[in-house]
């Protein structure tokens, strides 16, 4: 008899516990803020038309691959001033992730690599001190200068590393070999210089 009482009490407790669960309704939709859906590199020449490189992956970590577009060819011998913008377009209005990179400029660095016979070179045009006033001359790479050489074709790769070893040899010149860290952006564009 005593057992029966206890068991019915327990059963009651179980039922009341289960019925007062904290979310009866629909779970909240999550649009990830940190996803970088869009990488835009803008190359502004001293004269002539601006070249824009875009990699857009609206489903973030989903199965769709990024769509890469290059607005035009580079002019031989031309110097371009380059900048990069990272955005999250899953939220509206699109969130510009650059601000976070600027705030954590000491923990981030972009790398620009030229491969496959493309006759061009990219040089950093900023330093941590521009964003953090920390006195550091280590580059961040949100802006850079690109010098196009002779007519050629090849690849241009943009990499963003989080927590790289900025003091390692060659890293401040844009050499990835000793940089380490984790990759936040890695996209390769086919470019032509004409």
Partner 1 sequence: MKFFTLVLASLFSIAMQAQECQYSISGVVRDFHDGQVLPNATLSINGYQKYALTDFDGKYVLNGLCEGTYVITITHPECEVADFTIELNGNVKRDFKLEHHTEELNAVTVKGQNTTKGSSSSAAQVLQTEDLEGYSNASLGDALREIPGVSSLNTGSTVVKPVIQGLHSSRVLIINNGTRMEDQEWGVEHAPNLDLNTAANVTVVKGASALRYGGDAVGGVILTESPKAPAKDTLYGKTILSGASNGRGYGITTTLMKAYKNGFYLQGQGTRKRSGDREAPDYVLSNTGVSENDFSVGVGLDKFTYGFDAYYSMYDAEIGILRASHIGNVSDLIRAINSGEPDVIRDFTYDINAPKQDVRHHLAKLSVFKRFEKAGKLTLDYSFQQNNRLEYDIRRGENRDKPSLDLKLTTHTLQSNFAYDARSDFKADFGVEASYQENFPNPETDIRRLIPDYEMYTLGAYATASYDINSSIKIDGGFRYDFNEIDAQKYYLNSSWEDRDYDADFSDLIVERFDNQLLINPVFDYHNFSGTLGGRYQFVNNWDLKLNFSSASRAPNPAELFSDGLHHSAAIIELGDLRIKQEQSYKTSLELNGQTGGFSFGINPYYNQINDFIILEPTGLQYTNRGAFPVYEYSQVDARLFGVDLQAAYYFNDQFDLKTAFAYVNGQDLDRDRPLIDMPAPNVNTTFSFRKAEWNNLNVSLRNQSVFKQTRFPDTDFEVTYINDSGSEVTENVRVSESPEAYSLFNLASSAEFKVLNKSTLTLGLFVDNIFNTAYRDYLNRQRYFADDLGRNFKIQIKLNY
Binding region for partner 1 (CB under 8 A): 3, 6-7, 10-11, 13-14, 17-18, 21-23, 26-34, 36-39, 55, 57-66, 90, 97, 99-101, 103-104, 113-116, 155, 157, 161-163, 175-177, 179-188
- Min CB(100)–partner 1 separation in Å: 4
Q: Which is nearer to partner 1, 22 or 46 (CB)?
A: 22
Residue 74 Cβ, how far from partner 1 at the closest point, in Å?
18
Instruction: State the Cα–Cα distance between residues 136 and 156, nearest whole angstrom.
Output: 27
Q: Whole-angstrom Cα distance, residue 25 to residue 40?
A: 39
Backbone φ and ψ for 122, nearest 5 degrees, come out as -110, 140
Q: How far is the CB of 66 from partner 1 (least distance, A)?
A: 5
Give strand pairing partners of 161.
Answer: 109, 183
Residues in the chain, how many? 194
The nearer residue to partner 1, 32 or 194, going by C-beta atoms, is 32
CA distances from 103 to 130, 136, 174 (A): 10, 14, 20
Closer CB to partner 1, residue 11 or residue 150?
A: 11
Ranges of H-type helices in the chain: 2-19, 98-103, 128-132
How many CB atoms are closer than 10 A to CB 123? 14
C-beta closer to partner 1: residue 150 or 186: 186
Longest alpha-carbon distance in the chain: 96
Q: Which is nearer to partner 1, 47 or 117 (CB)?
A: 117
Q: Token pair 């006759």 is at which residue?
A: 119
DSSP state of 172: G
Q: Find the shortest distance in angstroms from Cβ 49 to partner 1.
A: 25
Shortest Å, Cβ 115 to partner 1: 5
């Amino acid at each position: 008899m005593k057992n029966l009482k206890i068991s019915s009490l327990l059963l009651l407790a179980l039922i009341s516990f289960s019925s007062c669960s904290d979310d009866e309704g629909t779970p909240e939709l999550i649009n990830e803020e940190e996803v970088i859906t869009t990488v835009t590199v803008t190359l502004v020449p001293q004269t002539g038309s601006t070249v824009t490189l875009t990699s857009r992956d609206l489903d973030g970590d989903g199965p769709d691959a990024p769509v890469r577009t290059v607005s035009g060819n580079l002019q031989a011998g031309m110097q371009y001033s380059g900048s990069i913008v990272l955005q999250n377009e899953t939220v509206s209005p699109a969130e510009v992730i650059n601000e976070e990179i600027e705030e954590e400029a000491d923990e981030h660095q972009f790398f620009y690599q030229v491969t496959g016979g493309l006759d061009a070179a990219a040089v950093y045009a900023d330093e941590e001190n521009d964003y953090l006033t920390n006195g550091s001359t280590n580059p961040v790479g949100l802006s850079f200068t690109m010098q196009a050489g002779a007519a050629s074709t090849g690849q241009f790769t943009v990499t963003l590393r989080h927590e790289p070893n900025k003091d390692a040899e060659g890293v401040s010149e844009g050499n990835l070999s000793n940089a380490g860290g984790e990759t936040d952006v890695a996209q390769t564009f086919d470019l032509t210089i004409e």
